Amino acid sequence: MYKFVVKGTAFSSSDSKNVTVLEDSLFCISESGRISAIISPKEKEYEFIIQEYSQKNKLQELAQGQYILPGFIDLHIHAPQWAQAGTALDLPLYEWLNTYTFPLEAKFCDLQFAEKVYSDLVSQLIKNGTTTALYFATVHRKSSLRLAEICSEKGQRGLVGKVVMDDHEQNPNYYRDATTDIALNETELFIQEVLELNQKTPQGVYPVVTPRFIPSCTDDSLKGLGTLAAKYDIHIQSHCSESDWAHSFVQNRFGKNDAFALNDFGLLTEKSIMAHCGFLSDEDMTLFAEKGTAVAHCPISNTYFGNAVTPIAKLLNEYQVEIGLGSDISGGFSPSLFDNIRQAVISSRMLEDGVDKDCCSGKRGVSGSSITLNEAFYLATAGGGESLSLPIGKLAVDYAWDIQIIDSKELPIFSENEPLMEIFQKLLYLSRPEMITEVWIQGRKVHDKTMNLQGV
Ligand code: GUN
Ligand code: FE
């Protein structure tokens, strides 16, 4: 009845604050790669299923010290910027874009170069436990399509945007859409090509409408992109209220914040994911909640370009805005969502306490801002799934079997009966990518450290 069964101990968010431990459970996976049933040792069919599936050679039992986590969902990543990850972080956003990033992205008109960078990136992300990624590619349709094909081939669930930047004043001549019409036509063709590719991709690849950010787009392209997103009912992504510079640029141009300006163009929908959002006003947050638009929180990147810590606790608890976690390669240097989980907690605690010792303690920080490790884990998993409106990010019936298996033997665990929630915390704070022994996406093994298997 099931394609295979996995026996092991897993952790999964039950809500933004709580993590469920599924101890020694049986995960029964369907032909289509979804979880059909989760059976705990207390249930009467438990022993029977173990026997039946081990006889058929379709039972995988995790070794002692191995644990299952949901695969991570990277809600904001610039695929071409992988080529400069870890470098070029010495300038503020505007100078960084013009000095390093636009010249690099311009090189992706070369399909061979794109192939090399994108192939390596998708493999690295899978090894790091990222099973779904929401990508910005570049303005080039063909190499953006190549990224979607590479996700499809390597088994990763990819949501990919051909970037639109058509404003002649704001973008360099060597790197922009030639005209607004061309930007919109190429986007529509890209959407159709990726929808076609999705037909033969079990884990899913999705086209995403992608105005880079308001400063790079004309009013006409923003309007046209809103129309295209509605016509095809697809995801939308952009940058929103990131940095003092970008935030005030939009204020000067429209006399309103990014959120309301984007909404005027039909770009804030249930399927929109907006990166950063460091400067949202209370009204902006209400609008996000009303529209069902999600925030992609990129805590590492924000320490370089954000000019503020995004108030995640407020967005999550007070406004119930959907939120996930993004690496923002290469504004963030790390492809690992483990690193971003850690930074999300750290940044929130610094916002809570404040950082300037010369300020008295009562005024130094913003109380109520810190988030827990459980909440950061939620952002990287279930929160990302909800943001994308896809059945991913949780170990629950009808969710995709998108998981990573972590081997804890190199972690400082010295007691036979260490509480599982303590092990969970060690896994999140101390795991290194080499400890991820297997990664599965939609019921298919795409990484096996021992077999050196990478992207079947
Ligand atoms: N705003 C516009 N483009 C970018 C980008 O590539 N990275 C970041 N962090 N912010 C942006
Ligand atoms: Fe970004």
Q: Each residue of 171-230: pLDDT tens digit?
A: 999 999 999 999 999 999 999 999 999 999 999 999 999 999 999 999 999 999 999 999
Cα first-last separation, the chain = 24
Q: Which atom of ligand 1 is nearest to the CA of 239?
A: 1
What's the chain's average pLDDT?
97
Matching residue, tokens 């989980």: 341
Global pTM reads: 0.98
CA distance to 40, 133, 279, per residue, from 384 (Å): 26, 10, 21
pLDDT above 70 as % of the chain: 99
Q: Is the pLDDT of residue 451 over 90?
A: no
Whether 323 contacts 377, CB under 8 Å: no
Distance of alpha carbon 129 from the chain centroid: 11
For ligand 1, pick from 136, 171, 175, 239 the residue to mutate: most ligand atoms within 8 Å of CB. Answer: 239
User: Which pLDDT score is estimated for 453?
Assistant: 66
CA distance to 16, 27, 324, 448, per residue, from 383 (Å): 8, 22, 5, 26
| Distance from residue 163's CA to the centre of ligand 2 (Å) | 11
The CATH number of the structural domain formed by 72-388 is: 3.20.20.140
Span 264-291, pLDDT tens digits: 999 999 999 999 999 999 999 999 999 9
Q: Whose CA is nearest to atom 8 of ligand 1?
A: 331
Span 284-311, pLDDT tens digits: 999 999 999 999 999 999 999 999 999 9
| Distance from residue 239's CA to the centre of ligand 1 (Å) | 7
User: Which pLDDT score is estimated for 450?
Assistant: 87
Q: Which atom of ligand 1 is nearest to the CA of 101?
A: 6
Average pLDDT (234-255) is 97
Cβ burial of 1 (10 Å; 0-12, 13-18, 19+) is exposed
Span 310-331, pLDDT tens digits: 999 999 999 999 999 999 999 9
Task: Read off the amino acid at residue 370.
Answer: S
Matching residue, tokens 């995709």: 400
Contacts of 57 (CB under 8 A, 6+ apart): none
Q: Which atom of ligand 1 is nearest to the CA of 78?
A: 6
Give the torsion through C-alpha atoms of 251, 253, 255, 257, to 10 deg: -40
For ligand 1, pick from 167, 213, 262, 273 the residue to mutate: most ligand atoms within 8 Å of CB. Answer: 213
Ligand 1 neighbours, Cβ below 6 Å, are: 78, 93, 97, 101, 212-213, 239, 242, 301, 305, 328, 331
Taking the CA of 237 as reference, the closest ligand is 2
Average pLDDT (374-387) is 98
Other beta carbons within 10 angstroms of residue 269's beta carbon come to 19
Distance CA 295, CA 47 (A): 43
User: Which pLDDT score is estimated for 454?
Assistant: 59
| Distance from residue 223's CA to the centre of ligand 2 (Å) | 21
Question: What residue ranges do the domains of the chain occupy?
Answer: 4-70+394-454, 72-388
Q: Which atom of ligand 1 is nearest to the CA of 136?
A: 6
Per-residue burial over 197-215, b = 16 or more CB atoms within 10 Å of its CB, e = otherwise: bbeebebbbbbbbbbbbbb
pLDDT above 90 as % of the chain: 98
Distance CA 340, CA 183 (A): 33
| Distance from residue 363's CA to the centre of ligand 2 (Å) | 31
Average pLDDT (58-69) is 98
Question: pLDDT band for position 15 (50/70/90)?
Answer: very high
For ligand 1, pick from 93, 243, 249, 334 the residue to mutate: most ligand atoms within 8 Å of CB. Answer: 93
β-bridge mates for residue 332, sequence order: 329
Q: Is the pLDDT of residue 408 over 70?
A: yes
β-bridge mates for residue 439, sequence order: 404, 447
CA angle in degrees (0–180, nearest 5) for 116-121-124? 125
Distance CA 247, CA 256 (A): 9
Average pLDDT (32-48) is 98
Q: How would DSSP label each residue in 68-121?
A: EEEPEEEEEEEGGGGGGTTS--SS-HHHHIIIIIHHHHHGGGSHHHHHHHHHHH
Q: Is the pLDDT of residue 119 over 60?
A: yes
- Assigned CATH topology for domain 4-70+394-454: Urease, subunit C; domain 1 (2.30.40)
Ion ligand 2 residues within 5 Å by Cβ: 275, 328
| Distance from residue 187's CA to the centre of ligand 1 (Å) | 19
Average pLDDT (327-350) is 98
Q: Is the pLDDT of residue 456 over 70?
A: no
Q: Whose CA is nearest to atom 9 of ligand 1?
A: 331
